[in-house]
Structure 1
């Protein structure tokens, strides 16, 4: 049995620190708040634990700040059910700022991880931003930021999330007075409103649309806070920074004066910006060129300013576009890139971006192993089924260019989100992704149609025909031989929530040709099965007709379903994974109109409630 009394202090200290690691790495802000409460709880158990806690600076080095730190309203909480007490006359001495000061002081000289989440769960984006609590109480936010910037030299990881622009603007304006913090590794700024990226959207509030420098690049920051300590000579000299990851979602900066920030990054995200505040094509090119060590790149939205917003105009005709493009030697080549996320709101603009930014002499991403593609318009607006063939064709062209590597590895994971394109374009993309290997380890589909499945089937048939022509019939029955003979092969399929509409016969044939593990989010599958469709009933041990037992209640063996349940007021609860063959029933509340409407399309008007259309049994 573990004896705490005789355990070394160093071990107990490390265990205490591990208590906070899980919550810090979680995406849930509720779990992240545990990082705030856990050190306090540990320090109140006994005298020895308190001494160890106070002597462990890294235990206090994670500072989580929520809306409750800036809003005096009791409806905002710092942690589970504990209302804040504010001193209206002296906000600097309120409980919230006292807690921040306590963590900052007890963390001593340890590197800081800052998580600032100023989002309001009850906020609706139809309201004016000036009515948001973070904007109304911006004076209190200013006090909190002043506390944090007093310790800017210790920043290691920083994340700022907001519904509105003002908090981001206040943060960036303060950053612009300092050089890049010497210990800063990860920086993530997100104005969480993806709708600003839609075509025709204008930046708001216009009065705060200026492009501010994120950090001083020459090491000569003003450092004008009266309480801010002077930076050391080493920190002022402009030595290479430690920054590895930058994410700017809906947050713009002075793109022309940010070269030092992007130099040497391994991860970069530029997402959901209003078109008018984006960098020009030349600025984007220079940014990516300074980040030639990138291993992960996300460009979601416009990427650079379109011609209608003051960007460079490009001809839609590739044959007449040459004169307006940069010379190829000045284009972007990312030899270490492993993950590429590309989302667009305008297919023509996205195609031009791919053709004009990246090198055309060789494959610009020879090490790419994971590709995420998304039509942002279809995911944000009601599905418009816009044709994205132009984008897929442009990307396929880049991926099939000669590779400087002796043998380019295939793209092993492909995510296909809300994309509608021709069958030929889909086939061209898959061929470019798989290369000579013909293998995709994992394919994730969300909000698409059957063209993609048909493209995969045609490629499988084509590879089968090729195998027969070569006289290698035996390879059609052995999985390893399939891969060795460069047949098109799929290891795993995931279908996520979304308007995934497909004819049941296509889905049936697809799963017969590709007998792979499938992860289904049941809310995203709309399959219209014939009256004689059957499913496997594990209790009966046989195929049961859908017409025999009404709506299908059983998950086919070998299929994994992500089931969503609802509370009495119609709110979605945490999905629960269920697997076929385990006698699991789909327990949906079909009498609840919101639940029914969420699970099926036009269920109420169809005359009968369908909780789930299950796959037919596959022999």
Structure 2
């Protein structure tokens, strides 16, 4: 490489030659003007020099709209995986979604506080300039703004493109912090496109209610619950003024839920996804009564109803309370012909009457149901048989009514296409009886989450061939997640021995029972002879194990000729900097959030499916 002085000398000579040629071409130019023209020409394509005008506005409107669409989807995906909080949207520093550009509008708007003082020629495209505070070090919190809303407040041209692109406005959200004018604008701008609707009337995990004890002290309890012998604090009287502190929790009220349905029900022909989440069953029942009165939903593909409640113990024999909300309801007049995914989390419906639309499903989740509001064995079997392409089945603290002494009089639960199965929060006798009735010829991803009992009987079932099979399902598994499986050590050993085709293992070692699985694998990797346990293992996700022990296991597998390709550890684990550096150098390493999805997406090739069916 030439010295810097030589490069500078060459540049100076080029500039002098160019200036001389300019003056020769136009003798009226002064040396200063000629030098200016040469400099502008040389810097014209310099990426560090701001361009003239706004080149992005030269793009076709269709391409600019697609850029907005991609940005919107990226932001929504980030929120779906917990990277941003949805309720950061539209707090005090909000942009008015529906507000239009009425006069000659400003060229750009500050995100924190719109400024419309500058005029612009309405017949020309306003130039784009940067948004936000000029002080990058400002620590003041600025709430997240939906990408499409932000884009629509940059300049008139961008607003025209964004507002007239229906695909940007198809996600309709109702929460306690979300202004209702936003869904109104979204519904109008989405035109005739299918829409995704979320009604969020649940408390955030960290939120609490404040109650007043006899001494006038405020006590925090989980939001949505009322402790005995305590009363909610009084609402401040109006005489205290608008700035008085209101200690009561603010939920999306029943009146607001009604207002939401009044707004979206006329568009029911466009509903594609509907998600409703509540912290109090009274709110969920109020929403269900609206769904009972709704007309058919012709294109609805995904229905998710979540009632969050921490009390999930002993549901096999529990009675649903409060009784005034026990009545099962039929939704959408029983007509949802395109439903493909359904989740009922602590929410029951009229299962028998709903057989008309609980069919053709590909994903079904039943969770946290008291025994007396569960579907009967016969009804659940009818739902499953009416969904021959069902791929994912989740039974978490739910399943058929716990009259298992009668199950043998019915046909078994044949699940010919289920590849992903979640079994969680059942007592041992119940899940053993249910598993014995299940026929699972192609399962390749399994999640197990049990605690509080000895599940040796069920663990032994897992290692035995099911009816009509020559092997257990374990050799077919490619993914296994164990959150809890208390059982004898001998059963743990046998389970690991049979996982001969497992590619990915997820173990949460939060107590001694699950730690044994990792200890067995470590002992085998370090001291075992012959074939290693889990010979096809490529990915390990682990939680609750010290980083030095994980490093020792990874190194032992590598030395044994069975190296891991990917390692994930929990963000809450204590990982030394030295071990983290070693992981990055020797394996594809990352950290996962414990709230991430339980089952990864797997695809089975036709050849693999043929092999599974032949077994």
TM-score band by shorter chain is: 0.5 to 0.7
Residues 1:442 and 2:504 are matched in the alignment: yes
2:442 pairs with 1:367 = yes
Kindly provide the CA deviation profile for residues 53-80 of structure 1, in whole angstroms up to 9, marking residues without a partner as x: 2221221111121123xxxxxxxxx3xx
Partner SS state of residue 350, structure 1: helix
Structure 1 position 125, deviation (Å)? 5.1
The aligned counterpart of 2:196 is 113
Partner secondary structure for residue 192 of structure 2: coil
Aligned-residue offset at 1:459: 7.9
| Aligned twin of 2:537 | 490
The CA distance in 2 between the partners of 1:458 and 1:554, in whole Å, is: 21
Q: What's the TM-score, normalizing by structure 1?
A: 0.62
Aligned to 1:71: none
1:140-169: CA deviation from partner (whole Å, max 9, x where unpaired): 221122212121111011111211112321
Correspondence for 1:290 among 386, 390, 393: 386
Give, in whole Å, the separation in 2 of the partners of 1:154 and 1:207: 32
**1:13 aligned residue:** 65
**Pick aligned residue for 1:215 from 332, 357, 372:** 332
Shift of 1:257: 1.5
**Residue number in structure 1 paired with 2:463:** 396
Larger Rg: 2
Check if 1:336 corresponds to 2:399.
no
Query: Partners in 1 of 2:502 and 2:538 — Cα distance?
Result: 6
The answer to whether the Cα contact below 8 Å between 1:460 and 1:487 also exists between their aligned partners in 2 is: no
Out of 476, 479, 493, the position equivalent to 1:410 is 476
Q: Deviation at 1:496?
A: 2.2
1:334 Cα offset (Å): 1.9
Deviation at 1:37, TM superposition (A): 3.5
1:48–1:505 Cα change, 3 Å: closer
Q: How does 1:81-230 map to 2 (within 5 A)?
A: 96-121=179-204, 122-123=207-208, 124=222, 127-128=225-226, 137-178=253-294, 180-199=296-315, 202-217=319-334
Report the Cα distance in structure 1 between the residues aligned to 2:310 and 2:299, rounded to whole angstroms. Answer: 30
8 A Cα contact 1:118 1:134, kept in partner:
no
Q: Retained in 1: the 8 A contact 2:414–2:440?
A: yes
Q: Secondary structure at the match of 2:413?
A: coil
State whether structure 2 residue 517 is matched by structure 1 residue 452: yes
Give the structure 2 partner of residue 255 of structure 1: 351
Shift of 1:39: 3.0
Q: CA-to-partner distance for each residue in 1:210-269, whole Å, 9 max, x for gaps?
A: 11112323x5xxxxxxxxxxxxxxxxxx8xx22221111111111111213221111111
Mapped partners of 1:412, 1:400: distance in 2 = 21
**Residues of 2 paired with 1:266 and 1:212: CA distance?**
23
What is the rounded CA distance, in whole Å, between the counterparts of 1:151 and 1:344 in structure 2? 38
What residue is the counterpart of 2:129 in the other structure? none
Report the 3-state secondary structure (helix = DSSP H, G, I; strand = E; otherwise coil) of the residue aligned with 1:115: strand
The answer for unaligned runs of 5 or more in structure 2 is: 1-50, 90-143, 209-221, 233-247, 597-615
Shift of 1:352: 0.7
Shift of 1:368: 1.8
Deviation at 1:453, TM superposition (A): 3.7
Work out the CA distance in 1 between the residues paired with 2:427 and 2:468.
24
Deviation at 1:275, TM superposition (A): 2.8
Q: What does residue range 47-62 of structure 1 map to in structure 2 within 5 Å? A: 47-62=156-171
Aligned to 2:3: none
What's the C-alpha RMSD, in Å, of the aligned pairs?
A: 4.1
Pairing 1:23–2:58 present: no
Contact persistence 2:568–2:592 (CA under 8 A): no
1:555 Cα deviation from its structure 2 partner: 7.7
CA 1:523–1:154: 2 relative to 1, 3 Å: closer
* Deviation larger for 115-124 or 451-460: 451-460
**Which is worse superposed, 153-162 or 96-105?**
96-105
1:67 aligns with 2:176: yes
Rounded Cα–Cα distance in structure 1 between residues aligned with 2:173 and 2:224: 28
User: Alpha-carbon deviations, 1:252-302, whole Å to 9, x = none?
Assistant: 111111213221111111112233321122222222122221111111113
Partner of 2:196, secondary structure, is strand
Question: Once the 2 structures are TM-superposed, how far is the Cα of residue 493 of structure 1 from its aligned partner?
Answer: 2.1
d(CA) in 2 for partners of 1:563, 1:36: 26
Q: In structure 2, what is the equivalent of residue 521 of structure 1? A: 570
Give the unaligned 5+ runs of structure 1.
69-77, 79-95, 220-237, 315-323, 359-363, 379-383, 468-475, 477-481, 527-534, 539-551, 565-571, 575-619
Count of residue correspondences: 444
Question: CA 1:334/1:17 → structure 2, altered by over 3 Å: closer, same or farther?
Answer: same
Of 510-519 and 186-195, more deviation after overlay is shown by 510-519
Conserved? CA contact 2:174–2:180, under 8 Å: no
Which SS does the other structure have where 1:490 is aligned?
A: coil
- 1:347–1:388 contact (8 Å) kept in structure 2: yes
In the TM superposition, residue 112 of structure 1 has moved relative to its aligned partner by: 0.6
Specify the SS of the correspondent of 1:336: coil
Does the 8 A contact of 2:174 with 2:198 survive in 1? yes
Q: Secondary structure at the match of 2:409?
A: coil
Aligned with 1:313 (options 387, 400, 405): 405
- 1:216 and 1:58 mapped to 2: Cα distance? 29
Q: CA deviation at 1:182?
A: 1.4
> In the alignment, what sits opposite 1:318?
none
Q: 2-side partners of 1:573 and 1:263: how far apart?
A: 30
Query: Contact 2:295–2:332 (CA<8 Å) still a contact in 1?
Result: yes
* Counterparts of 2:147 and 2:192, CA distance in 1: 20
Q: Tell me: CA distance 1:288–1:194, structure 2 relative to 1, closer, same or farther (3 Å).
A: farther
